[in-house]
Copies of this chain bind each other. A is one copy, B any other.
Amino acid sequence: MVNSKPNYITIAHVGIMDMSSVSLGMNKNHYSNAGIKTNGTFSVNIPSVKMVKETDYCGLFSGKVKNKTVLFKTFFGKLKTAPMIEECPVNMECELIKTVDFPTHDVFVGKVAATYCDECVLTDGEVDFGKVQPILFVMNDRSYYKLGEKFSKAWDVGKELR
């Protein structure tokens, strides 16, 4: 929420800190940073490949000049001030727990308060990324990639080298 209006931004510089918190590395010039500081909340919304135009648009144009509220159906969760996107198959609302200062970037660290998913992307009650069809971003060739096939079991295939 920036100036009492939902705003959405495409972020490449993301991270996982530990089992319950995530980070967003955001250039200090961005319109959204003030909203995160004011509310102490933000959301992480994972778009699917069919939302690539809207996702790219949110990275091309700033909330200073475009009203990005109109792109999506917005909903709120228990934190009340972190708008989320109904069309996204996975949405996480986060409480800001740390801000780490970098020369040109604010790194916002949020603890995930709740996750909201479309039932269509669940398999046995867990989010199935094969069904989410997330957009993967590569900076080098400025391209979006799809997730490929599942090819091996983690914490398992390496036992063969024991």
Would A52 and B15 count as touching, CB distance under 8 A?
no
In the bound complex, CA of A154 to CA of B50 (Å): 14
Complex interface: stretch among A29-37, A38-46, A76-84, A144-152: A144-152
In the complex this chain forms, how many copies of it are found?
Answer: 2
By a CB distance below 8 angstroms, the chain B residues around A136 are 136, 147-148
Would A60 and B143 count as touching, CB distance under 8 A?
no
Contact A150:B157 (CB < 8 A) given known A13-B16, A17-B107: no
In the bound complex, CA of A14 to CA of B18 (Å): 9
Q: Is residue A55 contacting chain B, with contact meaning CB distance below 8 A?
A: yes
By a CB distance below 8 angstroms, the chain B residues around A75 are none
Residues of A whose CB lies within 8 Å of any CB of B are: 12-19, 21, 23, 25, 27, 49, 52-61, 71, 98, 100, 102-105, 107, 109, 123, 126-130, 136-138, 140-162
* Smallest CB gap from A97: residue in B: B102
By a CB distance below 8 angstroms, the chain B residues around A150 are 138, 141, 143-145
Contact A15:B23 (CB < 8 A) given known A53-B160, A126-B140: yes
